[in-house]
Amino acid sequence: MPLKLRERVYIRDLLEKGVIGNEYTVAGWVDTVRVHGGLVFVVVRDRTGKMQLVVKRNISREAWEHARKLAPESVVAARGRLVESKAALGGRELQVYELEVLNKADPLPIDIYAPDKTTLAKRLDWRFLDLRNPRNQLIMRIAAEVARAAREWFVENGFIEIFTPKIVGAATEGGAEVFSIVYFDKPAFLAQSPQLYKQMGVIAGLEKVFEIGPAFRAEPHHTTRHLTEYTSIDLEMGFIDSYEDVMDIVEAVIRHVISSVLSRYRSEIKEYFPNAITEPPKEIPRITIREAYKLLEAAGTPVEWGEDLSSEAERKLGEIVEREYGSYLVFVTEYPWAVRPFYTMRKSDEPDWTYSFDLLMRGLEIATGGQREHRYDVLVKQLEEKGLNPRNFEWYLAMFRYGAPPHGGAGIGLERVVMQLLGLGNIREARMLPRDPERLVP
């Protein structure tokens, strides 16, 4: 009779709440095996923790035979009695009288517990093993918590989730960095963002919408902060007075996300990520990009007036703000019209600058947003000024002829939030199976 896996108890529950003397079933992966003659100590690991199984020949010869031959990372289920043990992890161990090998493991191609001995590239090739390292698994859980907390905030604040197409008929933002698809007999593209569609959600009368989904960028970047496929946390809202309203929302979302992650995972984060953020943000300073130019110039790292901020300038600005404002987050506002997309609303009194913003976290852009231009005539002009053909945006432009409220929104990069929150060195660590120009498999 195989063990009933339905009766299986998670290890953390057993260590914290199991009744000494009672019988339990545990299951998981074999972490280590030590054989001492008629006695085998097996440390088994499930997603909640590790505990020691003691398998004695004189209790079950069969279990003992299995146990002493166990290769690390094999999958087992065991039934036995919970006893106290000063020597064991967590002060408790399971005295086993039934042990079932559910799946045997071959010798491992990488050392799960010594990630530094293996390149990140190789670890990603063997991601299903790499993620058995509790540190790496924690990153995945935190990514999930970021999404959960963001959605919780959106739903509680009246944002409606939408599901926009990822297969699109035209390159949404006019850029060249899109992936092409063969869509039956027609050319098509992968959506770089839900930008135009989330605006549709607002204009269609949903008023406040959000989406957390994949976005695709065919950028041939080989950096530690770019992915060709990432998870975008998008929001868009109508009936705003100004882009300040959008920043208020982004600030509230980010605060809720960071607070939720810390309140749920503070101790684990402390254990595995010495460079992680430890406190939720206070009020986030907002400085115009022109103020940023001045700060950077004063710090001896000038940026050309009217230019976008390079990643180097962003990093530097993050340091300055950390020092001057004591904040690891900063909104940089009013980016030059020259470096923002056609749908950005320009400042009414200074049309070279826009009602837009980026949010930097520890010197890296994690979000971008602003107020969108909702006046049809202005929008057509802005398309032309950007060298785009309004005819290619017919369906989009039509939305502004039949009642489009003033609106704005933002997109937040989920993996970047995770990376900056934990202080990871490479964004690839923040994604289960990253894609970059070289990496398509697994």
Instruction: Out of 99, 303, 404, 410, point to the residue binding a copy of itself (CB under 8 A).
Output: 404
Backbone torsion region of residue 168, taken as left when φ is above 0, otherwise alpha when ψ lies between -120 and 50, otherwise beta = beta
As measured in angstroms, the least distance from the Cβ of 276 to a copy of itself is 20
The reply, when asked if residue 77 is annotated as ligand binding, is: no
Instruction: Out of 4, 61, 221, 282, point to the residue binding a copy of itself (CB under 8 A).
Output: 4
Compute CA distances 167 → 192, 194, 272, 286, 342, whole Å: 10, 11, 39, 36, 21
The reply, when asked if residue 219 is annotated as ligand binding, is: yes
Residue found under tokens 């109508």: 238
Select 91 or 169, whichever has its Cβ closest to a copy of itself.
169
As measured in angstroms, the least distance from the Cβ of 394 to a copy of itself is 9
Instruction: Out of 74, 260, 371, 382, point to the residue binding a copy of itself (CB under 8 A).
Output: 74
Select 180 or 223, whichever has its Cβ closest to a copy of itself.
180
Q: How many CB atoms lie within 10 A of CB 202?
A: 26
Distance CA 110, CA 123 (A): 7
User: Which residues, 97 to 156, sit near a copy of itself by CB under 8 A?
Assistant: 102-106, 108, 125-132, 137, 140-141, 143-144, 147-148, 151, 155
As measured in angstroms, the least distance from the Cβ of 205 to a copy of itself is 4
State which H helix or E strand residue 229 sits in: strand 229-238
Distance CA 116, CA 137 (A): 16
Residue 252 interacts with a copy of itself (CB under 8 A)? no
The reply, when asked if residue 278 is annotated as ligand binding, is: no
As measured in angstroms, the least distance from the Cβ of 328 to a copy of itself is 24
Q: Could you give the count of Cα atoms lying within 13 Å of 64 in the half-sphere of its Cβ?
A: 13
The reply, when asked if residue 388 is annotated as ligand binding, is: no
Instruction: Out of 35, 39, 120, 218, point to the residue binding a copy of itself (CB under 8 A).
Output: 218
The reply, when asked if residue 407 is annotated as ligand binding, is: no
Residue found under tokens 């409220």: 405
Contacts of 6 (CB under 8 A, 6+ apart): none
Select 200 or 287, whichever has its Cβ closest to a copy of itself.
200
Residue found under tokens 């003397």: 21
The token pair at 213 is: 């989904």
Strands 167-168 and 186-190: antiparallel
The reply, when asked if residue 173 is annotated as ligand binding, is: yes
The reply, when asked if residue 206 is annotated as ligand binding, is: no
- Give the DSSP letter string of 178-198: --EEEETTEEEEE-S-SHHHH
Select 20 or 441, whichever has its Cβ closest to a copy of itself.
441
Select 260 or 363, whichever has its Cβ closest to a copy of itself.
260
As measured in angstroms, the least distance from the Cβ of 231 to a copy of itself is 5
Distance CA 82, CA 317 (A): 56
Helix (H/G/I), strand (E/B), else coil: 328: coil
As measured in angstroms, the least distance from the Cβ of 203 to a copy of itself is 5
Distance CA 31, CA 38 (A): 20
As measured in angstroms, the least distance from the Cβ of 206 to a copy of itself is 6
Select 316 or 374, whichever has its Cβ closest to a copy of itself.
374
Distance CA 313, CA 295 (A): 10
User: Which residues, 163 to 202, sit near a copy of itself by CB under 8 A?
Assistant: 163-170, 179-184, 186, 188, 190, 197, 200-201
Q: Please report, in range form, the residues annotated as the binding site.
A: 173, 217-219, 225-227, 365, 368, 372, 413-416
Q: Please report, in range form, the residues annotated as the binding site for ATP.
A: 217-219, 225-227, 365, 413-416
Q: Please report, in range form, the residues annotated as the binding site for Mg(2+).
A: 365, 368
